[in-house]
Each structure stands twice: as structure tokens, then as C-alpha cells.
Chains A and B, each alone.
Chain A
Amino acid sequence: EAGVAQSPRYKIIEKRQSVAFWCNPISGHATLYWYQQILGQGPKLLIQFQNNGVVDDSQLPKDRFSAERLKGVDSTLKIQPAKLEDSAVYLCASSLIIGAGANYGYTFGSGTRLTVV
């Protein structure tokens, strides 16, 4: 099966600019996750969708970050305006359903590496 697709692979922007990332999960996977991985740290969940509804966005900095999954398939994550500390790898992952984590690993995309200068 096709994997989780993410684009772009790399992005360099200046602080205060805006940027958007795109993710297309595995076909049929209802649950989609966006993770932020800052150098030297483990990935941190930003937002979790179940179909087109938000399940958990408790760690999303909502003053500058937004995400949507309008048709319950692909998703976009936006940062506006970007800060230097947003430099990180942004990973998208999908799973069949909530609770699938007891049986299956999640499928990750290869990530978008963002550098804010």
C-alpha cells in the first residue's frame, strides 16, 4: 500500500512569515496525527483528527498554529507567523482507528524539515 505522503520535504522561511504543510494519510485510515520533533527531543503531538473532527489539540499553540482535515482525508498544518523556535521536523502519521495502537504501529510520513531564520 502507498505510504503517508507529506510535502514539502524541506522549507526555509524567515521569522514572521507563514508556512503550510500537507499530509495525505494511508487510504482508509480514520485517525491522523501531526507531531513536531525539535532537535534533541522526542516527537510531540500537536493535533489528532478522527475523520474530520479534532480529538486532541491540547498542545497546539493556537495563537499561531492551525490545522484542518476538511474531508476527512488529507490535512494541512499552518504556522502564521513563524518564530525561530518553530524550527523542527513536522511528522504526519495515520492509523486505522483510535485504539489500533494495541495491535499496529502507526504509519509515518518522512516529515517536513522547517528552518526559520
Chain B
Amino acid sequence: ILNVEQSPQSLHVQEGDSTNFTCSFPSSNFYALHWYRWETAKSPEALFVMTLNGDEKKKGRISATLNTKEGYSYLYIKGSQPEDSATYLCASIDSSSTGKLIFGQGTTLQVKP
């Protein structure tokens, strides 16, 4: 079973601050990496799906990078807003598996106005 780790576990920032989180995953048998945003009482929402080493993806103020050789991904939020407050989950898919997501424990972000 894959072991996916995220850090930090929680983060409190002021509105306007930029922040980043780390996701580490086993690099062997890598197939894909997903990032999800999960707001309280809502469904986890897919942010990015990444597969290629060196991938960089961007959606508004949020971007992500992927290093499959060393097994890590970074998620960046530029100019955090209170509406960015959520738990950010990364999940890896193993090429030898059936497509199941193996999740990290998440990073909970609180943005203070």
C-alpha cells in the first residue's frame, strides 16, 4: 500500500499571504497525482490531475508542480483569501492498482481576514 504524506498538517495565514503545501508519495509505479479541495460540509472538489514529471498546472491563484522522480508535489496559493479556507488533499494512483486514490492526511488552511 502506498504511503502518501502531506505537510504541514494545518496552516493559519493572513489574507493576502502566499502559502504552499507539500505532498510526498512513492515514486515507483507512479501513475497520477490528484489535488482536491474539501470545504466543510461540501464535496471534495478536484483541483488538478497531474501525470508527467515537471508538470505545472494553474487555476486562478492556485498552482501545482510535480516531481515524479523524487516523489513530491507542491501546491501554491498566491494572495490567500478567506474563501480559500479548506482542507487540501493530495492523492496518488499506483500504476499497478485499479485506479484507487491513496490519500494523504490533508493540510487544513485557515485564512484570516
Interface residues of A (CB under 8 A from B): 3-4, 31, 33, 35, 40-45, 48, 50, 55-56, 91, 93, 95, 98-111
Whether B103 contacts A99 by the Cβ 8 Å rule is: no
A40 and B105 in contact (CB under 8 A), knowing A105-B46, A105-B49, A106-B46?
A: yes
Interface residues of B (CB under 8 A from A): 4, 6, 31-32, 34, 36, 41-49, 51, 89, 91, 93, 97-106
Contact for B103 among A40, A42, A95, A105, CB less than 8 A? A42
Whether A108 contacts B99 by the Cβ 8 Å rule is: no
Smallest CB-CB separation from A47: which chain B residue?
Answer: B100
Whether A106 contacts B105 by the Cβ 8 Å rule is: no
Smallest CB-CB separation from B103: which chain A residue?
Answer: A42
4 shortest interchain CB distances as A-B pairs? A105-B46, A42-B103, A108-B44, A98-B99
| Inter-chain contacts of A106 with B (CB < 8 A) | 34, 46, 101
Contact for A110 among B41, B49, B98, CB less than 8 A? B41
Separation in Å of the B24 CB from the closest CB of chain A?
A: 13
User: Which of A45, A56, A91, A95 gathers most chain B CB within 10 Å?
Assistant: A45
User: Which of A41, A100, A101 gathers most chain B CB within 10 Å?
Assistant: A101
Whether A105 contacts B36 by the Cβ 8 Å rule is: yes
Contact for B99 among A35, A40, A44, A95, CB less than 8 A? A95
Separation in Å of the B107 CB from the closest CB of chain A?
A: 11
Smallest CB-CB separation from A31: which chain B residue?
Answer: B99
A105 and B34 in contact (CB under 8 A), knowing A40-B105, A91-B44?
A: yes
A42 and B4 in contact (CB under 8 A), knowing A33-B100, A110-B43?
A: yes
